[in-house]
C-alpha cells in the first residue's frame, strides 16, 4: 500500500486502463468507415462531422470510401503479451453476415502457424505419433524471428491447444458464432469494449456451462470493459442506448428510395458520437507513454513482457497497422 499511502482513495480505486483495449480503439479510429448504406445519401444529424464538402443532386457525400464491413475489429495477443495480428468485420466484402472480426482472426491465427512451420524444431520432435504431432506450435513463440526459434527447446503442441494462451480483444461483445469458434480454438480470454444486447450474453452462458467441466472444450472467459474500469465501455453503451431511443423518429439514413430508422448497433457504430469515443481512446493510447502505474510489472509467466514493454510493442504495432493502409493483412483491402 506504500504507493497509495498519502494519496487519495480514488487513486487506489482506479484501475489502469488496459493497453491493448486502447490500442484497439486506435486501430478502429484509423480505419473508421461509417458508410453503412453508401458514401452518398443523407445520414441526417448522425454523421455531420463525416460529411465531405461537396453535395450531389441526390444527397451528401461522406468520408470513409467504400464500406467493407462494420466498424468492429479484434486484436489477438499471445501468452506473454505480444500482439499477434488483427482483423476487422468484413461482412460487406463477402456479402455475408458471418465475416466477423473474431472468427476471421481465429482462422488467421491458425493459418499463420501453418505458414510458419519450423522444420528444425519439428524434426527434433518427430515421434511417429498422430498426424501433425511434430509441429512445434506455440504462439508464445510465434512473434519472434525464426532464427530465435532454432536455439529454443521445442514445444510440441497440437492445434487444439495452439491458442490456449491467447487473449482476443474485440470492440463489440462476441456473437454465438465467434464464441463457438473461439471455444473450439481454446482461446483463453475474450475482452470486449462494448456490450451487444443482441447477443444475449451468449459468451457468458457458454463460459459458465464449460469452464468447470473436467473434459471437453472450455469457452474463453468474457471480460467486459466494465470489469477493468474502461470509461469508454459506459460511453459506448450509453451512446448506443441513446441512438436506439432516437433513431425511429430521426432516421439514420435516407435516400430517394430507402430509409433506415431501425435500431442497430452497427448503425450506431457509424455515428459521429461513436467515432468521437474511439478517437478519445486512440488519443489516450498515444499519450500513455510514461504514465503507466506499474511499468515494470509482468505476469508470472516465462518470458512475459513488462507493462512498459507491452505498451511499447503495442505502439509499434499500431504504427505498422496504420501505415499499411489495410483493414486486414491477409487480403490487402
Chain residues in the site for Zn ion (CB under 5 A): 100, 175, 177-178
When the beta carbons of 47 and 104 are compared against Zn ion, the nearer one is 104
C-alpha cell at 296: 515494470
Give CA 240 to chain center in angstroms: 19
Residue 18 CB, nearest distance to Zn ion (Å)?
21
DSSP 181-204: HHHHTT--EEEESS--GGGTTHHH
Residue 100 CB, nearest distance to Zn ion (Å)?
3
When the beta carbons of 97 and 249 are compared against Zn ion, the nearer one is 97
Residue 216 CB, nearest distance to Zn ion (Å)?
22
C-alpha cell at 257: 428510395
Residue 310 CB, nearest distance to Zn ion (Å)?
26
When the beta carbons of 106 and 178 are compared against Zn ion, the nearer one is 178
Residue 48 CB, nearest distance to Zn ion (Å)?
30
DSSP 275-295: HHHHHHHHHHHHT-TT--S-T
When the beta carbons of 19 and 101 are compared against Zn ion, the nearer one is 101
Residue 180 CB, nearest distance to Zn ion (Å)?
9
When the beta carbons of 177 and 231 are compared against Zn ion, the nearer one is 177
What are the phi and psi torsion angles at 73 (to 5°)? -135, 165
Give the integer Cα–Cα distance in Å for 38 and 65.
8
When the beta carbons of 154 and 163 are compared against Zn ion, the nearer one is 163
When the beta carbons of 134 and 193 are compared against Zn ion, the nearer one is 193
When the beta carbons of 42 and 173 are compared against Zn ion, the nearer one is 173
Give the integer Cα–Cα distance in Å for 217 and 163.
13
Residue 188 CB, nearest distance to Zn ion (Å)?
18
Work out the burial of residue 281: count CB atoms within 10 Å of its CB; fewer than 13 is exposed, 13-18 middle, 19 or more buried: buried
Neighbours of 245 (CB within 10 A): 11
Residue 28 contacts residue 171 (beta carbons within 8 Å): yes
CA–CA distances in Å: residue 34 to residues 51, 62, 156, 199: 10, 8, 44, 22
C-alpha cell at 142: 510465434
Residue 115 CB, nearest distance to Zn ion (Å)?
24
Closest CA to 193 of 220, 168, 218: 168
Beta-sheet pairing, 259-260 with 253-254: antiparallel
Amino acid at each position: 500500500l506504500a504507493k497509495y499511502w498519502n494519496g487519495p482513495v480514488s487513486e487506489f480505486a482506479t484501475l489502469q486502463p488496459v493497453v491493448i483495449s486502447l490500442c484497439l480503439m486506435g486501430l478502429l479510429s484509423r480505419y473508421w468507415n461509417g458508410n453503412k448504406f453508401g458514401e452518398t445519401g443523407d445520414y441526417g444529424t448522425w454523421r455531420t462531422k463525416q460529411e465531405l464538402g461537396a453535395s450531389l443532386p441526390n444527397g451528401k457525400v461522406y468520408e470513409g470510401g467504400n464500406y467493407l464491413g462494420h466498424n468492429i475489429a479484434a486484436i489477438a495477443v499471445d501468452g506473454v503479451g505480444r500482439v499477434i495480428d488483427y482483423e476487422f468485420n468484413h461482412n460487406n466484402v463477402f456479402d455475408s453476415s458471418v465475416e466477423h472480426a473474431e472468427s476471421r482472426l481465429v482462422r488467421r491465427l491458425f493459418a499463420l502457424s501453418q505458414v510458419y512451420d519450423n522444420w528444425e524444431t519439428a524434426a527434433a520432435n518427430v515421434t511417429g505419433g498422430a498426424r501433425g504431432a511434430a509441429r512445434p506450435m506455440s504462439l508464445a513463440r510465434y512473434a519472434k524471428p525464426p532464427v530465435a526459434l532454432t536455439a529454443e527447446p521445442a514445444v510440441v503442441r497440437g492445434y487444439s491447444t495452439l491458442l490456449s494462451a491467447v487473449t482476443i480483444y474485440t470492440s463489440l461483445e462476441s456473437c454465438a458464432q465467434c464464441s463457438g469458434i473461439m471455444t473450439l480454438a481454446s482461446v483463453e480470454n475474450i475482452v470486449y469494449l462494448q456490450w451487444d444486447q443482441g447477443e444475449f450474453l451468449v459468451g457468458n452462458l457458454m463460459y459458465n456451462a464449460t469452464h468447470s467441466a473436467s473434459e471437453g472444450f472450455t469457452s474463453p472467459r468474457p471480460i467486459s470493459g466494465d470489469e477493468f474500469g474502461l470509461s469508454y465501455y459506459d460511453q459506448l453503451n450509453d451512446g448506443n442506448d441513446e441512438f436506439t431511443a432516437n433513431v425511429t423518429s430521426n432516421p439514420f439514413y435516407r435516400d430517394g428510395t430507402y430509409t433506415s430508422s431501425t435500431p442497430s448497433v452497427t448503425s450506431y457504430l457509424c455515428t459521429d458520437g461513436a467515432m468521437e469515443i474511439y478517437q478519445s481512446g486512440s488519443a489516450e493510447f498515444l499519450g500513455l507513454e510514461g504514465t503507466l502505474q506499474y511499468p515494470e510489472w509482468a505476469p508470472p509467466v516465462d518470458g512475459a513482457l513488462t507493462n512498459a514493454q507491452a505498451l511499447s510493442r503495442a505502439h509499434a504495432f499500431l504504427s505498422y497497422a496504420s501505415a499499411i493502409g489495410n483493414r486486414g493483412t491477409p487480403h490487402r483491402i
